[in-house]
Amino acid sequence: MNKRQGKSAAFIREALKRSLIPRNQVATFSGLTNTYIRDLEQGNIANASREKLIALAITINLTLHETDELLTVFDRAKLNMDDVSIYIQSVKQRGTSTVVHPVRDYFGYELLLLGAEQTPGAKVVSANHPTAILRVEGHRTSVEIDMVEDHPIYWELREAIGRERRRNLGLQLNQYTMDHYIHKKSLEEYIRGCHDPKEREWRKKHIESVLLHIRNYENFNYYLTKIQSTFNFMIKFTGSSDEAEKVFFYAHSSPVLPGQMEGQVIGFLTENQTIVEQFKKDVEILREHVLDEYLNCHKLESFFEVLISQ
């Protein structure tokens, strides 16, 4: 083992240790084999491919700057715009597991959702804000620009994830339902509680995007509730017996917290059916507290129109 291989092996061992994710689960999520990961730890692989290193970085929650370090110790160039497509493709191919998989940053959060959403099937969302999947182009960048550590590919990566999530949603809504439950007062506060004029305009565009989907997709169902769920969560159902149902649950907070929560766990994805069933029960509770008057599509659309006009 030469000096560079020793350095790369030490980096891998430390990164895996900090991730707190068992190696067999790292293998499941990343698509790498246990043997390959062990060889990386032991410095037996001198020329790891860029794609495999990025897949590993995504799985063990490395930041973009930490991923640059990983690539550097393997004598690879730092991340560039060409790697955005590698990120998207890698997460679309990743596996999931009954083990709870954490996420610690905002682009990682949406990457994890993008991966979970690839499975064909219905889904249910409960959140205290409109789903980020329907943010318009530029909103993510506007929200986060003063909150996160800058990186040359960060902004394009964030927008690329958003574009891919919206594209996938449109495709799936042609065949599968998406039910979104949201506390009516929380939705009102999303607009009325925002005192930054620029961000307020972005949020109005976000609401307009939601309204557009309500009008254009019969399978997009929006429910206003009397109560607020304890967690924000998304349940992804499947149309195949080969795929397990998934749940992603995450911080019940404002959608403008990236940066303020840097390094903290902000969400988890799992296929553990005990956890999935618990969140299904929460959906049943939310259904019991849907505001009946807004089941009328005209009244629901009028509510949105009033929000947008404020």
Q: What is the pLDDT of residues 207-265, one digit of tens each?
A: 999 999 999 999 999 999 999 999 999 999 987 777 889 999 987 665 544 555 566 78
Q: Do 93 and 32 contact (CB within 8 A), yes or no?
A: no
Same domain, 50 and 195: no
Where do the H-state alpha helices sit in 126-220?
A: 139-144, 154-173, 184-192, 197-216
Count Cβ atoms within 10 A of the Cβ of residue 190 and give its class: 0-12 exposed, 13-18 middle, 19 or more buried. Answer: buried
Looking at the predicted structure, is the pLDDT value of residue 11 above 90? Answer: yes
> Is residue 106 in some structural domain?
yes
Between 96 and 210, the more confident residue is 210
Domain with 289, as residue range(s), is 96-309
Instruction: Read off the pLDDT of each residue in 148-162 and give the average, rounded to a whole number.
Output: 87
Instruction: Determine the Cα–Cα distance for residues 234 and 135; give it in Å rounded to an integer.
Output: 17
Between 140 and 84, the more confident residue is 84
What pLDDT does residue 24 have?
87
CATH at residue 61: 1.10.260.40
Same domain, 125 and 234: yes
Same domain, 43 and 169: no
> Number of structural domains, the chain?
2
Q: What is the radius of gyration, based on Cα positions, of the chain?
A: 20
Between vectors from CA 34 to CA 28 and to CA 37, what angle results, nearest 5°? 105
Among 51, 79, 107, residue at a domain's last position? 79
> Is residue 39 in some structural domain?
yes
* Collapsed DSSP state (helix, strand, coil) of residue 125: strand
Instruction: Read off the pLDDT of each residue in 176-195 and give the average, rounded to a whole number.
Output: 96
> Is residue 91 in some structural domain?
no
Same domain, 75 and 100: no
Instruction: Determine the Cα–Cα distance for residues 218 and 32; give it in Å rounded to an integer.
Output: 40
User: How many other CB atoms are found less than 10 A from the CB of residue 296?
Assistant: 10
> Is residue 280 in some structural domain?
yes
Same domain, 27 and 124: no
Between vectors from CA 145 to CA 144 and to CA 149, what angle results, nearest 5°? 90
Looking at the predicted structure, is the pLDDT value of residue 163 above 50? Answer: yes
Same domain, 59 and 114: no
Instruction: Read off the pLDDT of each residue in 94-108 and give the average, rounded to a whole number.
Output: 78
> Is residue 89 in some structural domain?
no
What pLDDT does residue 179 have?
98
Same domain, 56 and 128: no
CATH at residue 275: 3.30.870.10
Q: Do 191 and 310 contact (CB within 8 A), yes or no?
A: yes
> Is residue 297 in some structural domain?
yes
* Collapsed DSSP state (helix, strand, coil) of residue 218: coil
Same domain, 108 and 255: yes
